[in-house]
Amino acid sequence: MTLFTEKVIEIIQSIPRGKVMTYGQIAGTAGNPRAARQVVRVLHAMSPKYDLPWHRVINAKGQIAMKSDSAYNEQLMRLELEGIETDINGNIDLTRYRWNPEIRYEWSNWV
């Protein structure tokens, strides 16, 4: 377990209900803006172990990035249960649902 992973896990767990974060945002908050892929990795491989709200993590386009349709629909459903509005294509209004964590390690690329 490395520091990045711990940070990523911590950040993901800090996402409140009804809010979402993007991969790049999490990676940047964790201190490595280039490690977006690793966020993906952590999500995919460690979510069940660390009880991470993986469904609150989406890509920067405001969409669910799931590969499989079944998991996609599941995530979509969970997001709706949390009160996050999604359109027919699964687009989420990041402007309203993006979560800004208090803990910013380094980040200078968000609006």
Residues that bind DNA (CB under 7 A): 1-2, 4-5, 22-25, 27-28, 33-38, 40-47, 49, 54-55, 57-61, 64-67, 75, 109
Instruction: Name the residue nearer to DNA (CB basis): 67 or 102.
Output: 67
Q: Are 106 and 28 in contact (CB under 8 A)?
A: yes
Q: Which is nearer to DNA, 2 or 70 (CB)?
A: 2
Q: How far is the CB of 102 from DNA (least distance, A)?
A: 20
Q: Nearest distance from residue 83's CB to DNA, in Å?
A: 17
